[in-house]
Amino acid sequence: MKGYLVKLYPNKSQAILLDKHFGACRWVYNKMIEISQKKYHRTGKSMSGYDMQAMLPKLKKQYPWLAEVNSQSLQIVCHNLADAYGRFFKKQAAYPCFKKKDSHDSFAAINRSYFCGNKLKLQKISAIRFRGGDRPEGAVKKFTVKKIAGSYYASVLIDTGIVPPALQPPERILGIDLGVKDVVVTSAGLHVPAPKYFIFSQKALKIRQRALARCRKGSKNRAKARLRVAKLHQKISNQRKDFNHKLTHQLVANSENQAFAVENLAVKNMLGNHKLAKHIADCGWNQFITFLNYKARDAGKHVIEVDRWFPSTKTCSACGIVRGKISLSERQWKCGSCGSEHDRDRNAATNIALEAGRDFAFDCGGNARPVAILANPVETRKCA
């Protein structure tokens, strides 16, 4: 399965129909929450997705405008809500809440939706022009149409039928240290400075947010100002996503990198640091690791996670001695035991690669002994 995202360019009548789909799906979702709550308080039993789906014909008679949209999209809403309740009762997610207008507007379609050249045909909507990259070959399984910052997008799930290559025991492991100053530092010596898209856009964002604050609530000018702020946020998000896509592709496409070692960071907990939260969020570490995982899997390469409590920064990668506390401002340090001089981030990346190699060798019964890829291409160090 592969996801494929395209940007839609509907005309005025098509945009109205898409907005009707968003509104109807949101209304059905909220209505089903209301009905489910009443039934649960009355009987103590929850409703399944099929119970909600069975109520749709009755609602369509009561509210004829529901028949203007794709019936399958409304059915999918019912099953999505049932899944949300299921996750809540399993304590995997919060209680489903009512959806607000213009907040995560989306609807899904499965049957009678297909690509037609450079246009996308959705049921009850004429073919919509789109633009995107190279479309994967295969059977289309599902379309999800979204509206983000006034623009329309379609996320397409395609069954390519391609089986990823089997994972082979790696001989070389690249250690990756994620940071704030340099977003990625590898054990091979690659330093990638943080692009800081949000930081560089703060001035423009400040101007647009102040203009929004001056507008009267409920006015048309406020809606326009709100859209300008949303578009800037979306631009920052797109820049960060593009950067992470290109960086992960560069790492995975390198044939020397047979496996990757990263720390399993608790990014959500780290955002509690009010001094660094803005910079950590701007780096997009979670997105980077997500992209690296799926691209490495498609290439038949390993991504090995190292425990977040492993002292990668404080450990000397030459002799293994762990020193005391190191301040954030200390970018270079010298080992008091062996005298080796270390770059803070490159030393951490090397230790992450060595620790991942030890973990991998232990899981394989000691048969596989991968080596860490270091800054000197000739030099490699045993991981176990």
| CB atoms near residue 67 (< 10 Å) | 13
Q: What are phi and psi of 175, to 5 degrees?
A: -85, 140
177 is catalytic: yes
The b/e string for 3-16 (b: 16+ C-beta within 10 A; e otherwise) is ebebebebeeebee
Distance CA 214, CA 297 (A): 49
51 is catalytic: no
E strand or H helix at 41? helix 12-43
Determine which one of 105, 282, 345, 355 is catalytic: 345
Determine which one of 105, 177, 355, 359 is catalytic: 177
Distance CA 24, CA 30 (A): 10
Candidates 150, 176, 151, 181; CA nearest to 282 is 181
| CB atoms near residue 298 (< 10 Å) | 13
Q: What are phi and psi of 212, to 5 degrees?
A: -65, -40
359 is catalytic: no
End-to-end CA distance of the chain: 36
- The pairing of beta strand 119-122 with beta strand 114-116: antiparallel
Candidates 107, 110, 171; CA nearest to 372 is 171
Determine which one of 105, 263, 355, 359 is catalytic: 263
Just list the catalytic residues: 177, 263, 345
